[in-house]
Amino acid sequence: MASHQFDNVDRSGSVSGPPSGGDYALDRSFRGIAWFSAALILALVVYIVVEIGGKAMPAIAEHGLGFLTSTAWNVQTGQFGILPQIWGTLYSSLLALILGGVFGVAIAIFLTQDFLPSRLAMVFRTIIELLAAIPSVVFGLWGIYVLIPLLRPVANWLHANLGGVPFFGTSLSGPGLAPAALVLAIMILPTVASISVDALRQIPYKVKEAAYGMGTTRWEAILKVMLPTASSGILAALVLGFGRALGETMALAMLIGNSNQISLSLFAPANTLAALLASSFPEAGPVEVRALMYAALALLAITLIVNAVGLAVMKFATRKFEAER
Amino acid sequence: MAIRLLLTAALGLAGMVSLAFGQNPAPTPTTAANERVALRGAGATFPAPLYLKWIDVYTKANPNVAIEYQAIGSGEGTKLFLENTVDFGASDAALTDEQIKRAKAGATLVPATAGALVLAYNLPDMEGKLKLSREVYADIFLGKIREWNDPRIQALNPDLKLPKQTIILVARQDSSGTTYALTHHLSAINEAWRKGPGTGKTVDWPGVSMTARGNEGVAGRIKRSWGSLGYVEYGFAKRLGLPMVHLQNKAGAFVEPNLNSGQAALAANVGQIPSNLRVFLPDPEGQDSYPIVTFTWLLLHDQYPDPRKSAALKGFVGWALADGQRYSGDEGYIPLPDGVATLARAAVDRVR
C-alpha cells in the first residue's frame, strides 16, 4: 500500500501526521456503510419489481399484451384491460406538466432574475415550497369542495357554446379530467419551481453580466442566455414533476371520477392507473389482485420510460447549450 | 367515500355494540343456548341499512347473539358464501343452479325484503318532475342519448327547462346485485340492450359513465355531480334527498317511485312463487306498478356444523321475516308479501 511510506516519519512535534489506525477504520467503515446503503436501495427496487412482477405473472400469462390495449375491467367475466387508465394517466399528467411547467418555470424566472428584492424572493420561495407539504388528501378535498364548483360554470359554458370542439365534448358534472389535472399541476408546481430556481441560481453571475455587456435587453438575456444555460436543470425539474404526476394517487382517486372510458374531452370523467390501484385494491379478490399487479407493473414501466426519455433529452440539452461552459 | 366510511364505522360500531351486549350473561328470549354465538355475514349493499337495523334491534333483545354484516356488494358476498368463509351471504341476484351446486355446505335462498330500484339524478337548476319513457331511459343507458336537453327527453317533459349538459351515468364499480336487477330489467324491455351489454352483476357501460362502490357510493357520487344519473335502491336516494325519475311501466303509465308503487308491483305479480323462492320481476304488470323492483336474498347454508350457530341464525332470520318486516318501510324497503314471507319462513325452518 502506498501509505507505508509514512510509517517511518517522525511524528513528534508536528500537528500534521499520517492517518492513524482509527482514521483508516473510520474511512473503511464509512465506505462500507455508503456501499451498503447504495446496494440496499438498489436491492429494494429490484425486490419490489420482482415481487410485483411475480404476483403479476399469472395475469401476464393469461392476458398478455392485450391487457394494455383492452378497455374492459370486468371482474365477473375475468376480462381486464387498462388502456383507459394508461390514457388517463398520460393525459392528466401531460396537462399537469404543461400547466405546472409553465407556471413553475415562470415563477423560477421571477424569483431569480432580480425582479424582486432577494429577501422577498426568499419569502415567496418558502411559500411555494410549503405547497409540497400539503397532504394529497387535502388537495383532493379542496378540489371537490372549491375547485369543482369554481370550474363547473366555466366548463359548462364552454360545452354549451363550443361543444363541437372535442376538448369540450362533455359538460363537467363533478369529478373529471380538468379538475384532476389542475390539482396535479398545483401539486407538481413546488417541485418544478424549486429545482428550476436552483438551476438558474447555479449560473455564475458573470454570464448575465456578459449578456448585458453584449447589449441584450433583460428579456433577451433571460430567454436566450439564462434559460438555455439552465436547460438541463429545468428539464430535470420537469421530468421529476412529470414522474410525480404519473404516480399521484389520492387526490386523483377523489377527483377523476373512475370511468373506464377514453375521451378527449377535458371535462369527462376518466381514470388513472394509480387511482385504479387505490380504488380497487381494498376489496379485490385474488383474480383482480393479479390484474392490479399487472397494472402496477405497467405504471412502473411507464415511469421508467418517462425517466429514461427525460434523461436522454437532458443529455441532449446539455450538449447543445452547455457544452462549452 | 365519506358515506362508505360512515357505513364501515357503523358496521364496526354495530359489531362492538353486539359484542358488548354479548358479554353480559343475560337471559335469552328466543335462542336455546346461553353461550355467546357470533355470526358473520357479507354481501349486498342494497338492503344493508335494513339488515343493520335488524341486527341492532335483534341483538339488543338477544344479547348472546353477535351478528356482523359487511356490505361489500352481492358479487363478493356470494363468493364468500360459496367459499364458506361467512355464515350467511346476501345478494340481490339469486344464485344460479350452477352456483348452488358449487356451495360446499348447500344453499338455501331466503327472500328477506324487496326494494324499488330508482334512477336518481342531479340537475340542480331544474325544478319539477322528470319523466322518462321506456325507450328513452334504455337509450340513455345505451349511450344513444347523451345530453339532457335531447329532443326526446324534452318531448316527454314539455314543462321542464332541461340544461345542455352531458348525461353522466354513475354505475357500480363492484360486482353488484343492484346492477343485475337494472340490467335484467333493461334486457327485458329493450332489444338492443339484450343483444349488447346484456344482464350481469357487472356490465360494460356504453354511455359516459363514472363508477363508484356500493349503493351508498353511487348515491354520494350523484349528490356531488351535476348532470349525473345513476341507479340506487329507493332508500339511499331518499336519505340523500336526490330527485328520482318517474319511469314508464309496462302498462304505459309514468309511476313515481315510492313504497306504494313498489308494493303494487309486488302485489300484482307475485302470484305463483317457485319452490326455490327465486322470483324475478324484470318487468312487472299493473297500472300502478313501479317497473324496477327486486327481491333481495339472504343466503344460508343447508346445514351448519355448529348447532348453536344454526339455531341463532334461524332465530334471527325467522324474526326478520316476521316481526322484522315492519322496519322495512321506515328504511325505504318494501315488506315481503305475506305469501312470500310464509314460504321464506318455511325454507328457514328446513335449515339444519
Which chain A residue lies closest to B164 (C-alpha atoms)?
A: A160
CA B322 to chain centroid, in Å, comes to 19
Residue B285 CB neighbour total at 10 angstroms:
12
Q: Give counts: helices (H), strands (E), chain A.
A: 14, 2
Q: Do A268 and B165 touch (CB under 8 A)?
A: no
Which chain A residue lies closest to B124 (C-alpha atoms)?
A: A173
Q: A55-64, B58-67, B92-101, B239-248 — which is least confidently predicted?
A: B92-101
pLDDT over 70 percentage in chain A? 94
pLDDT, residue B330, reads 86
d(CA A141, CA B264) in angstroms, rounded, equals 43
* Pick from B75, B212, B213: CB nearest A75: B75
Residues of B with CB under 8 A from a CB of A: 1, 72-73, 75-76, 79, 122, 163-166, 168, 173-175, 200-205, 208-213, 221, 224-228
Q: A102-106, B142-146, B276-280, B323-327 — which is least confidently predicted?
A: B276-280
Residue-wise DSSP of B289-335: --S-EEEEEEEE-S--SSHHHHHHHHHHHHHHHTGGGGGHHHHT-BP
Q: Do B164 and A152 touch (CB under 8 A)?
A: no
Distances in whole angstroms, Cα of residue B19 to Cα of each of B36, B50, B61, B105, B186? 9, 20, 13, 27, 43
Query: Residue B98, CB half-sphere, CA atoms under 13 Å: how many?
Result: 0
When pLDDT is averaged across residues A56-82 and rounded to a whole number, the result is: 87
When pLDDT is averaged across residues A81-93 and rounded to a whole number, the result is: 93
Q: Give counts: helices (H), strands (E), chain B.
A: 14, 11
Query: Residue A282, CB half-sphere, CA atoms under 13 Å: how many?
Result: 12
Which candidate in B168, B179, B221 is best for mutational testing of the A interface (most A CBs within 10 A)? B168
Helix axes A177-201, A148-162, angle to 10 degrees: 110
Return the SS3 of A157: helix
When pLDDT is averaged across residues A196-218 and rounded to a whole number, the result is: 91
Return the SS3 of B279: coil
pLDDT tens-digit profile of B249-283?
Answer: 999 999 999 888 988 888 877 766 777 778 788 88
- CB distance B105 to B80 below 8 Å: no
When computed from its CA atoms, the radius of gyration of chain B, rounded to whole angstroms, is: 20
CB contacts, 8 Å: A279 with chain B? 173, 213
Residue B58 CB neighbour total at 10 angstroms:
21
pLDDT band of residue B164 (cuts 50, 70, 90) is confident
- CB distance B123 to B226 below 8 Å: yes
Q: Do A174 and B221 touch (CB under 8 A)?
A: yes
- Residue from A208, A229, A237 nearest A325 by CA: A229
pLDDT, residue B15, reads 41
Which candidate in B98, B208, B222, B229 is best for mutational testing of the A interface (most A CBs within 10 A)? B208
pLDDT over 90 percentage in chain B? 43
Residue A94 CB-density burial (10 A; 0-12 exposed, 13-18 middle, 19+ buried) = middle
pLDDT, residue A14, reads 67
When pLDDT is averaged across residues A80-87 and rounded to a whole number, the result is: 92
When pLDDT is averaged across residues B298-303 and rounded to a whole number, the result is: 90
d(CA B292, CA B325) in angstroms, rounded, equals 21
Confidence check: pLDDT of B13 > 90: no
CB contacts, 8 Å: B72 with chain A? 283
Q: A244-258, A274-288, A295-309 — which is least confidently predicted?
A: A274-288
Sheet containing B293-300, strands listed edge to edge, beginning at the edge strand earlier in sequence: B65-71, B37-43, B88-91, B293-300, B108-122, B228-233, B168-172, B209-212
- Residue from B296, B313, B294 nearest B305 by CA: B313
pLDDT, residue B33, reads 46
When pLDDT is averaged across residues A42-59 and rounded to a whole number, the result is: 93
pLDDT, residue B6, reads 44
Q: Are strands B108-122 and B293-300 parallel, antiparallel or unpaired?
A: antiparallel
Helix axes A273-280, A286-317, angle to 10 degrees: 150
- CB distance B38 to B309 below 8 Å: no
pTM of this structure: 0.79
pLDDT, residue A20, reads 87
Q: What's the whole-number average pLDDT of chain A?
A: 89
Query: Residue A1, CB half-sphere, CA atoms under 13 Å: how many?
Result: 5
Annotate A12-34 with b (16+ C-beta within 10 A) or e (fewer).
Answer: eeeeeeeeeeeeeeeeeeeeeee
pLDDT, residue A9, reads 58
Q: Which three cell numbers, joined as nine digits, stand for B162?
A: 332541461
Question: Which residue is listed with cell 436543470?
Answer: A233
d(CA A235, CA B15) in angstroms, rounded, equals 54
DSSP 8-state symbol, B86: S
pLDDT, residue A13, reads 62
- Residue from A171, A24, A230 nearest B163 by CA: A171
pLDDT, residue A325, reads 46
When pLDDT is averaged across residues A211-237 and rounded to a whole number, the result is: 91
Domain spans, chain A: 84-324
CA of A206 to nearest chain B CA: how many angstroms apart?
A: 56
CA of A182 to nearest chain B CA: how many angstroms apart?
A: 18
Q: Domain A84-324: state its class.
A: mainly alpha
pLDDT, residue B4, reads 47
Return the SS3 of B29: coil
CA of A233 to nearest chain B CA: how many angstroms apart?
A: 40
pLDDT band of residue B32 (cuts 50, 70, 90) is very low
Return the SS3 of A222: helix
pLDDT band of residue B28 (cuts 50, 70, 90) is very low
pLDDT band of residue A257 (cuts 50, 70, 90) is confident
- Residue from A283, A103, A171 nearest B71 by CA: A283
Residue type present at position A293: M
pLDDT tens-digit profile of A119-151?
Answer: 998 999 899 989 989 999 999 999 999 999 999
Sign of CA pseudo-dihedral B308, B313, B319, B324: positive
* Pick from B173, B202, B226: CB nearest A173: B226
Q: Do B164 and A74 touch (CB under 8 A)?
A: no
Confidence check: pLDDT of B24 > 60: no
Q: CB under 8 Å to B36, separation ≥6 — which residues?
A: B22, B23, B64, B65, B66
Q: What's the whole-number average pLDDT of chain B?
A: 85
pLDDT tens-digit profile of A170-193?
Answer: 888 889 999 999 999 999 999 999
DSSP 8-state symbol, A282: G
d(CA B59, CA B90) in angstroms, rounded, equals 19
Check residues B284 and A103 and name the one with the higher pLDDT: A103
When pLDDT is averaged across residues B238-257 and rounded to a whole number, the result is: 92
A252 touching B, CB under 8 A? no
ipTM of the assembly? 0.74
pLDDT, residue B73, reads 86
Confidence check: pLDDT of B11 > 80: no
pLDDT band of residue A17 (cuts 50, 70, 90) is confident
First-to-final CA distance of chain A = 38
Return the SS3 of B230: strand
pLDDT, residue B97, reads 83
pLDDT, residue B16, reads 41
When computed from its CA atoms, the radius of gyration of chain A, rounded to whole angstroms, is: 26
pLDDT tens-digit profile of B180-222?
Answer: 999 999 999 999 999 888 888 888 888 778 888 889 999 999 9
Helix axes B214-224, B2-22, angle to 10 degrees: 140
- CB distance B250 to A296 below 8 Å: no
Residue A197 CB-density burial (10 A; 0-12 exposed, 13-18 middle, 19+ buried) = buried
Check residues A40 and A286 and name the one with the higher pLDDT: A40
